[in-house]
């Protein structure tokens, strides 16, 4: 199995190549996504890119070995998710594998997710993809967050909450594209990284492993033929609220200076443009840092 250090220290292209070799039956859309077919009607999603320009060369650990950081930026967003997907698939029983989707360039506009959706509509994906009942993305900071974006399916939310997660708010991720296009409800779960999009990002391995254990429980449930299909439902109220909260990039940056040094905001804006500033701002809103 691929190790966490291998995953953290790879470039997006290098990691894509490793995964293609590791999963020889995968559907590979070069530079866009890798789809690994499974037996269970659930799709787990993670993205291969990070916001950091320099690949990880040095990994620093706390004395107890539970906290990882890097002077290059550890890239837990979303290499933690990639590691979780690999661990969950490789440790699953032979006839109980989930489907996996590794996307490229989520941080710069979810390009891989959009290509996957386009291929889905064009009928280019394996036909068994129509059997999916649930999408789970593993691309959220923290320990117990469950983010649904513009999807509102109370039954799914109740189910995910029963697994130890707490409903939170976020701005955008790959499932924001995938869930409505596939017509399947989705949730983005915490995978133990913190201070995303900054050089001070770190990974809490205890929190990462706890999410992996909870998702194993979900896979066990999905293996039961009576497990329901969760349909995508649009949360119009959430769309209206987020629309009201958005401000101009200049105003967002000014507000972010309360919690980020200007050089970090300069680096993020240089790499991702106004999209990066918006994402940081909306994450801060979701965490209750700003009140308006």
In this predicted model, what pLDDT tens digit does every residue of 4-36 receive, in sequence order?
999 999 999 999 999 999 999 999 999 999 999
**Residues 126-164 pLDDT 10s:** 999 999 999 999 999 999 999 999 899 999 999 999 999
Give the sheet arrangement for strand 186-190, strand by strand. 27-29, 33-36, 99-103, 42-47, 134-140, 186-190, 145-147, 166-168
Predicted confidence band at 286 (pLDDT cuts at 50, 70, 90)? Answer: low
The predicted model gives 41-64 an average pLDDT of: 96
Please choose, from the candidates 27, 42, 212, the residue with its C-alpha nearest in 3D space to the C-alpha of residue 138.
Answer: 212
Share of the chain above pLDDT 90, in %: 75
Residue identified by tokens 């293996």 is 223
What's the pTM?
Answer: 0.85
């Amino acid at each position: 199995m691929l190790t966490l250090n291998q995953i953290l220290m790879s470039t997006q292209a290098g990691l894509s190549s490793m995964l293609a070799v590791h999963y020889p039956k995968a559907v590979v859309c070069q530079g866009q996504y890798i789809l690994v077919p499974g037996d269970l009607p659930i799709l787990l999603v993670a993205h291969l890119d990070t916001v950091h320009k320099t690949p990880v060369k040095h990994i620093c650990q706390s004395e107890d070995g539970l906290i990882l950081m890097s002077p290059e930026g550890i890239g837990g967003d979303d290499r933690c998710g990639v590691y979780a997907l690999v661990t969950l698939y490789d440790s699953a029983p032979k006839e109980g594998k989930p489907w996996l989707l590794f996307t490229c360039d989520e941080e710069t506009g979810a390009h891989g997710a959009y290509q996957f959706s386009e291929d889905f509509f064009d009928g280019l994906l394996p036909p068994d993809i129509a059997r999916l009942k649930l999408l789970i993305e593993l691309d959220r900071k923290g320990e117990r967050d469950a983010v649904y974006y513009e999807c509102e399916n109370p039954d799914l939310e109740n189910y995910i909450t029963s697994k130890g997660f707490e409903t939170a708010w976020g701005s955008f991720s790959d499932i924001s594209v995938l869930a409505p296009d596939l017509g399947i409800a989705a949730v983005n779960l915490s995978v133990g990284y913190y201070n995303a999009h900054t050089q001070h990002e770190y990974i809490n391995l205890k929190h990462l492993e706890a999410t992996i254990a909870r998702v194993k429980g979900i896979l066990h449930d999905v293996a039961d033929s009576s497990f329901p299909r969760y349909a995508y439902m649009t949360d119009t109220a959430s769309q209206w609220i987020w629309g009201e909260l958005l401000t101009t990039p200049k105003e967002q940056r000014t507000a972010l200076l309360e919690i980020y040094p200007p050089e970090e905001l300069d680096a993020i804006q240089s790499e991702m443009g106004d999209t990066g500033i918006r994402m940081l701002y909306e994450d801060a809103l979701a965490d209750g840092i700003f009140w308006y």
